[in-house]
Structure 1
Amino acid sequence: MFMELDLQSESPIYTQIAEQLIEGIAKGDLKPGDALPSVRSLAADLDINLHTVNKAYQTLKQEGFLQVHRKKGVVVQPGEMPGVTAGFKDKVQRQLRALSAEGIVRGMAEEEFLRLCQDAFNRKNTKEGE
């Protein structure tokens, strides 16, 4: 599994890991039941503290995207993925509100903002045309 971390980002490393795992699930690169690297293994591969990886895994476990088994290790949720809840909608609204406000301050046109949102939703926002 390939992950790219931006150590200069304002976004915490555990958040970057969690977001990339969810993106992998959304793209179909990670399928239900797929095993993920152990906390120690991924931390070593990324050259980061194992507690950072553990926090990302635990966050995704709490949200229903991963399961943690004593014997099987960490796997992508083999059952149904979490559904759209009121809390999730609120989270999306808060994040979009903040991004749209910044876009307005920077002079971004509404059409461009909406296009970027649609591209992201359709997963056309991958780096280097992947």
Structure 2
Amino acid sequence: MFLQIQFESEIPIYQQIKNQVIRGIAIGELQLGEDLPSVRQLASDIGINFHTVNKVYNQLKQEGWVVIHRKSGVMINPDLNVGKTQEYIESLDDLLKITTAEAFLRGLSKEEFIALIDKNYDSYNSKGGK
């Protein structure tokens, strides 16, 4: 797994890692059942505190993206079925409210905004993933 962390970004490191793991699954870069680096190994590779990686792995586990076994480590959930829960839909709606507001204030038309969503969504359909 190759991660690109932007240490100067406003997005917290743990969120960058989490986002890249989820995107990696969606584009088929990470396969179901694939092992991820250990907490200490990933922290060492990136040069961050292992508590940060532990936080990411625990969040990914809670959301169903990974499974954690004491002996074999962390792997992409081989039975991935996270589904669209009401909680997720509400969270997505909140995120879209902010994203849409910013796009509106920056002058993107509704058509431009929807075209970006379509482009990104369609990119996952063409790459495999789940």
TM-score, structure 2 normalization: 0.91
Amino acid at match of 1:85: T
Cα displacement (A) at 1:105: 0.9
Q: What is the percentage of aligned positions where both structures have the same residue?
A: 44
Residue in structure 1 matched with residue 15 of structure 2 by the alignment: 15
Amino acid at match of 1:13: I
Residue in structure 1 matched with residue 99 of structure 2 by the alignment: 99
Q: CA RMSD in A?
A: 1.1
Amino acid at match of 1:28: G
How many residue pairs were aligned?
124
**Structure 2, unpaired ranges of 5+:** 125-130
Residue in structure 2 matched with residue 77 of structure 1 by the alignment: 77
Which deviations, in whole Å up to 9, do the C-alpha atoms of 1:49-81 show, x marking residues without a partner? 111111110000000111110111001101132
Which deviations, in whole Å up to 9, do the C-alpha atoms of 1:75-99 show, x marking residues without a partner? 1101132101111111111111111
Cα displacement (A) at 1:123: 2.9
Higher RCO, 1 or 2 (CA under 8 Å, sep at least 6)?
Answer: 2
**Structure 1, unpaired ranges of 5+:** 125-130
Runs of 4+ with deviation above 3 angstroms: none
TM-score, structure 1 normalization: 0.91
Residue in structure 1 matched with residue 108 of structure 2 by the alignment: 108
What SS does structure 1 have at the residue aligned with 2:123? coil
Amino acid at match of 2:113: F
